[in-house]
Each structure stands twice: as C-alpha cells, then as structure tokens.
Amino acid sequence: MIEFYLNGEAQRCASLAPETSVLELLRTVLQRTGTKEGCASGDCGACTVAIGMPDQAGGLRYHSTNACITPAHQLQGCHLVTVEGLARGDALHPVQAAMVDCHASQCGFCTPGIVMSLFTLHEGRREGRRDALAPLDDARLEATLGGNLCRCTGYRPIRDAARRLDRYPDVRPPWADDAALADNVAALSDELESDGYAMPRTLAALHDVRRQRPRARLVAGATDLWLETTQRLEAFEDVIDISRVAELQAIDETPDGWWIGASVAYTRLEPLLETAYPAFARMLQRLGSAQIRNRGTLGGNIANASPIGDTPPVLLALGARLALEGPDGARELPLEAFFLDYKRTALAPGEFIRAIFLPRPAGDRRLEVWKLSKRREDDISAVLGAFAWQEQAGRLHGVRLAFGGMAATPRRAEAAEAALEGQPPDAAAFDAARQALARDFQPLDDVRGSAAYRQLAAANLLERLRLTLTHHSPREVCLDAYAH
C-alpha cells in the first residue's frame, strides 16, 4: 500500500507492480492525464511533476522530476503536485498566467512539463530558499528548463514567461490553504515493504532485507534502471529501494575530505562542489537536467559502470575511494580498482556501495573537466576529460588524466600522465602526451562518435589543457559557457 498526497488529497494505492512509474500511476490508475508521456526515458521533460518532501523546518520542499522514470513507490510519504493542481478555480497560478500572456504554448503537449519546472523554481523563490534565489539570468533559466524540450514555440516566449513571474498576483493552489498538509504528509510512514518492493530506512534494515531478497535489484534515483522497463519493457520481480536509507543520505566531513553517501542526489552536492571543486560543479550542470540531478546519485552513476558516465572520470582524477558493504562485512577500494570491464565491477555478490570518499583539495592542486556531447543540455558524453595536477617550479606533478568514452570503462591515461609528470607545460611535453594517448586507449566506435573522432577529441582536450596552463585563462570560454 502506497500512501501519499496528490494535489492536497490523500491517496492510497495498492497492488502496484514493482516497475510502475509515477507517470503510469497518474495516467492509468488515477486518471490524471494532464501529465504527458513524450520520450519515456527522462529526456524531453513533458512528464515533469513536482514532488514535495518534508524538510527539517516542518514544511514541504518541492523538486522537479521526470514522472516516466520515477518509481511510483517512491511517492510514499510525499506530496505529488501535477499541472491539474495549480490553478484556483478560474484564477491561474502565476506560471500559468505568464505562459498564456507570453504566448509560450502552441500544441501544448510539452507545456504541462514546462509549467511544472517553472512551478518548482517559483516555489523555491517564494519560500526564500538559497538555492533558488540566484538571479534569473540566462544561465539560471537554462539550468531550470534544460530538461524541457519544445518543438513548437522556440524558447524565447518561455523564458519571457519565466522572467515575468514576479509581476503576477501570488495565486496559490487550494491545497496551499491547508495548514496541516505538511504535518499530514510528514505523518505518513517513509518506510515501505510490499510484494516485490522494499524501502528500508536504515543500513541495518537494508542488510536484513538484502539477506532475505538476494536477487532484488537496488534502486535509488532510478534515472538509469527504470529505462529497462520503459525502453525494454522488462518487468522487475523484486526491488529494494535505497533512497530513504539514512546512512546512504549522509555527507560526512573529515579532515581529509568528505564521505558522500551513495544515495545523495547530485543537487545536494552542488554547494559542496562549488566551494571545493568549481570545475566539477560546472560539469554537474551539464549532467542530464534539473529533473535528473534532483534524483540521480553519485553511487548510482558509479555502480552503473557505464563507460560514458559523467562523474567517474572526475572522481578518478581526484583519487576517490569507495566504501563497500556486503554479507562478508565492509571494505574500502580505490575507485580505479572498481571498474573491471564493460558493465563489470569489483562488487562481490550481495555487496553495494555505501559511500564515496572525495579528497579535500590541496591548496595548489587544480582540476579541469570538459565534456563533449552533441547537445550542451541533457545529453550523454561522447568524450569527457578530467585533469588534475599541481605545478611546482614550472613543472607538472601529481598528474592524473582520466577519460570517459574512450574505453570499455572510465580509465586513467597512464602513459599520457607519465609523459607530463615532472615536465614543464610546454608544447613538447603535451605533444608527447597526445602521442601517448594512442597507447592508452582504443576508443569506442558507436553512434555518439567514431573511434577516430574520440581519439582526436581526447587529444584536443589535452591541447586545451596546455593552452589553459600557458595562457592562465581565468574563465571558461566555450565548452560549458552559456552562449546567447
């Protein structure tokens, strides 16, 4: 039995298959068809909804998500808001009114998702949340709307609508009048166990249910796993949801760095990375979309073991470590020892990732990360390069060069590293490093890029690193800049 609130109304749903998505629940079970299915893969944003979860202040904090790849069972103990739940009778919510006045909708299919993305932005600003109060410049709007595709209007009228939100009366939905809503949502259990689906809250409970259900699939953000049901039409016999396990949601600071729980969503990492590793934070803005970053996790990106995952090359360059747990106890493992082959990892049967260690940056150590993809927003890497080093007396030391998209696993370029170690950052050293890349990698050859393209692109990223070092460029000018 799943218990949650939908647009302020209590809901109880029983007998849902483990692979049921929020979108399927809305459209086929609850008959709320305002939320549309576009791609069924989390790419287009037509199905965007807002999920409110209890926060420490006693309220509800809303985030946007793709309903098509969000497990319905994760609504347990939440408040789900859809496009049907915004207006107050004939009085439109500010987002809806601005979209109408700016002629920001034509066919209307993608419009509900765009409205819901702007609703979460507006809600955060109305509540004065620090992460939502950044100026509504082009970068901020693209970060909000980068996961919403529109084939009709173009995006200018949509941006115009977003910029006008503060000009409209703050019409609130009827459910916003319910002073007890947040308390009622918080009173619902956030632990769930039903046929085929378990949602433990503690690490001990996770170990217990893992012993009882050793063949169950683990899920946290579901941004990748749920594609198996939406794209391959596979059914899940048994799922263990680790998104509510308290220990996997923790970020523990130590003198040497941070242990980041495997279920911590990317959005929660942004403030830490902005301070510690700005280049990592910039890349994170190009990982999927706001909807994906609100749910996707560092642990999931690693455990998925994709050769084109965005975060593993960065973590390899930084020397990250993993804390693993399983039936035989706990152990630590350097990240570079985790990836064995395509989609194969060093996880033993029954093991899972508990946390990822991110080392504290040394004062003179630098990091650069560059991602190449066909679209800047909401796209998968063709090649991603992450480079860490320090410069002493005009020479490079501690060089770590890691790439995604160049092999069956994310990997360091050890021959290229050796060519640069102890050398001045001049053309000769980098020419030797580019030649060494041919010994490091035999790149993938697929629809995202040929082997020849990837080899050339990786070499060009090394040349970009050389230019960055020799010209001491203070800012990004291309790969992750916003161009208007």
Q: What HEC string does 54-74 produce?
A: ECCCCCEEEEEEEHHHCEHHH
| Residue ranges, the chain, pLDDT below 50 | 477-484
63-73: buried (b, 16+ CB within 10 Å) or exposed (e) per residue?
bbbbbbbbbbb
Q: What residues have CB less than 8 Å from 137, skipping those under 6 apart?
A: none
Q: Nearest Cα to 356, choosing from 389, 309, 391, 419?
A: 309
Strand ranges in 127-270 using DSSP code E only, listed in sequence order: 192-194, 197-199, 217-219, 239-241, 251-254, 257-261
Region(s) of the chain under CATH 3.30.465.10: 260-359
Rounded to the nearest 10°, the torsion over CA 165, 293, 402, 429 is 10
Question: What is the model's pLDDT at position 252?
Answer: 97
Region(s) of the chain under CATH 3.10.20.30: 2-85+176-241
Q: Which residue has the tokens 């990892």?
A: 345
- Domain at 366-483: CATH code: 3.30.390.50
Strand ranges in 224-351 using DSSP code E only, listed in sequence order: 239-241, 251-254, 257-261, 321-326, 329-334, 339-341, 344-345
Region(s) of the chain under CATH 1.10.150.120: 94-172
Region(s) of the chain under CATH 3.30.390.50: 366-483
| Tokens of residue 441, six digits | 């990698």
Question: What is the model's pLDDT at position 57?
Answer: 87
Q: Which residue has the tokens 């942004």?
A: 270
Question: What is the model's pLDDT at position 402?
Answer: 98
292 vs 42: CA distance, rounded Å: 7
Helix (H) or strand (E) holding 97: helix 94-101
Question: What is the model's pLDDT at position 135?
Answer: 66
CATH class for the region spanning 2-85+176-241: alpha beta
Q: Which residue has the tokens 């291309």?
A: 478
- Please calculate the CA angle 129-99-168 and round it to the nearest 5 degrees: 60
Three-class SS state of 141: helix
Query: Would you state the CATH architecture of domain 94-172?
Result: Orthogonal Bundle (1.10)
pTM: 0.93
| Tokens of residue 387, six digits | 């480079």
- Domain at 260-359: CATH code: 3.30.465.10
| Partner residues linked to 415 by β-bridges | none
